[in-house]
């Protein structure tokens, strides 16, 4: 057996002695004031843990605060966005109402351009009424004499035609009979009295551009061409004494029938000449139309010199101006780009009306051509049946005589 140390033996004896004492009636209080393991090991760990927990708590508080603040900012942003959207919708509706009001009550910038179409009817009536007086209103004495109401003998008219031609000599005339009273010098309007272009494009030098508004000199040349082609005399007018006889009355009847056909033959040319003279009814519409920049530019570039000089156009140039200012005017395309839907619709209606006006003019021309063709058919019938009927009449007269 292992021997017991002195320390343990002392402890055993002390324990046995304490156990042998009788029990006392009081207790002993024991206070633990310190513990080295607790102080050195446990407490530092607890302190570190508390520090960590405090940091975690601070972080969580900061996170919560940040979340709360972010929520507040999000709510404020949502409210601000909603307010902005409401303000935008309100402003958008207001602007839309303003645009609708402007579109409903605004006056287009090119409203004055419609003055051309508005004056077309008056210009057409003025030109139509002038075809009867286009010759008598001339200041040219030779033209007045050529259009004398009394038809002269064909030989006299032929001589007068040769005399008036001296104002329209060309280079060929100058070489042929230059220096005579019938051709002193080459004219600025060569062959003006014998060229169809005098009626269609206006008399002038070779190579000149077509003119739709005639000067007074161009009008005179066109009238003389009409006289040389469609109003030549087939016989002189009878005198007052001659119509008292039976043969005179018969001659007068034939003369009147001839005049009716001559009038129809000259009508288309006289109408074109009247429609080529400066027309006062176009002056105010053109003045209004030139208030539109695109119209003013096109007018300066394309109007004839006579139209610019007098401030008015002929009916022919007026119609061409109304058509070409749309089709041949680049500035008109810019005007279209500036129009809203309502203005574009109005312009479409205007173009449709213009087409209707031009088609109506074509209809009138077709009707006139039908009349002229009917007269030509009547002449053909007369030429074919007059001799046959005269032969049969002679046979009938012989039968009656028997």
Q: How do residues 69-127 score in pLDDT, each as one tens digit?
A: 888 888 888 888 888 889 989 988 888 888 777 666 555 555 555 656 667 777 888 77
pLDDT for 261-287, tens place per residue?
888 888 999 999 999 999 999 998 888
For the entire predicted model, the pTM comes to 0.68
Question: Could you tell me if residue 76 is inside a domain?
Answer: no
**Whether residues 259 and 144 fall in one domain:** yes
Q: Taking a C-beta distance cutoff of 8 angstroms, is the pair 315, 127 a contact?
A: yes
What's the start-to-end Cα distance of the chain, in Å? 208
Question: Could you tell me if residue 103 is inside a domain?
Answer: no
Overall average pLDDT of the 175-179 stretch: 86
Q: How confident is the model at residue 1 (pLDDT cuts 50, 70, 90)?
A: very low
pLDDT for 221:
95
**Whether residues 226 and 332 fall in one domain:** no
Among positive and negative, which fits the CA dihedral 127, 130, 132, 138?
negative
- In this structure, what token pair is assigned to residue 285? 């519409």
pLDDT for 217:
95
Query: Residue 170: which domain range?
Result: 135-274
Question: Could you tell me if residue 48 is inside a domain?
Answer: no
- In this structure, what token pair is assigned to residue 125? 């009536």
Task: Indicate the residue among 239, 257, 274 that finishes a domain.
Answer: 274
Q: How many domains is the chain partitioned into structurally? A: 2
Q: Taking a C-beta distance cutoff of 8 angstroms, is the pair 147, 227 a contact?
A: yes
Higher pLDDT, 140 or 278: 278
- In this structure, what token pair is assigned to residue 292? 């539109």
Task: Indicate the residue among 274, 306, 335 that finishes a domain.
Answer: 274
Task: Indicate the residue among 274, 290, 313 that finishes a domain.
Answer: 274
Q: Taking a C-beta distance cutoff of 8 angstroms, is the pair 243, 252 a contact?
A: yes
């Amino acid at each position: 057996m292992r021997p017991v140390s002195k320390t343990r033996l002392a402890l055993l004896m002390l324990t046995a002695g304490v156990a042998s004492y009788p029990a006392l009636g009081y207790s002993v209080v024991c206070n633990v004031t310190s513990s080295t393991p607790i102080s050195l090991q446990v407490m530092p760990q607890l302190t570190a843990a508390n520090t960590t927990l405090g940091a975690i708590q601070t972080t969580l508080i900061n996170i919560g605060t940040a979340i709360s603040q972010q929520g507040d900012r999000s709510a404020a942003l949502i409210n601000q966005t909603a307010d902005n959207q409401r303000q935008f919708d309100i402003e958008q509706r207001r602007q839309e109402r303003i645009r609708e009001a402007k579109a409903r009550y605004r006056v287009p910038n090119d409203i004055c351009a419609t003055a051309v179409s508005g004056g077309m009817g008056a210009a057409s009536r003025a030109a139509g009424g002038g075809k009867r007086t286009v010759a008598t209103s001339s200041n040219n004495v030779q033209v007045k004499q050529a259009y004398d109401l009394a038809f002269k003998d064909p030989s006299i008219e032929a001589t007068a035609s040769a005399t008036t031609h001296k104002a329209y000599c060309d280079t060929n005339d100058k070489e042929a009979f230059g220096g005579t009273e019938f051709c002193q010098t080459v004219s600025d309007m060569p062959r003006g009295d014998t060229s169809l272009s005098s009626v269609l494009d206006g008399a002038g030098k070779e190579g000149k551009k077509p003119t739709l508004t005639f000067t007074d000199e161009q009008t005179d040349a066109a009238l003389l061409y009409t006289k040389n082609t469609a109003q030549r005399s087939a016989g002189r007018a009878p005198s007052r004494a001659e119509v008292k006889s039976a043969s005179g009355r018969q001659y007068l009847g034939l003369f009147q029938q001839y005049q009716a056909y001559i009038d129809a033959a000259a009508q288309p040319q006289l109408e074109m000449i009247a429609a080529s003279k400066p027309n006062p009814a176009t002056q105010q519409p053109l003045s209004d139309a030139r208030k539109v920049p695109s119209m003013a530019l096109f007018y300066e570039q394309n109007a004839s010199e006579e139209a610019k000089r007098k401030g008015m156009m002929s009916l022919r140039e007026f119609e061409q101006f109304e058509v070409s200012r749309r089709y041949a005017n680049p500035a008109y395309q810019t005007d279209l780009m500036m129009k809203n839907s309502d203005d574009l619709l109005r312009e479409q209606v205007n173009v449709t009306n213009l087409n209707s006006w031009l088609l109506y003019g074509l209809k009138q021309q077709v009707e006139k051509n039908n009349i002229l063709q009917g007269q030509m058919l009547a002449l053909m019938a007369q030429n074919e049946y007059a001799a046959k009927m005269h032969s049969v009449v002679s046979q009938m007269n012989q039968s009656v005589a028997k």
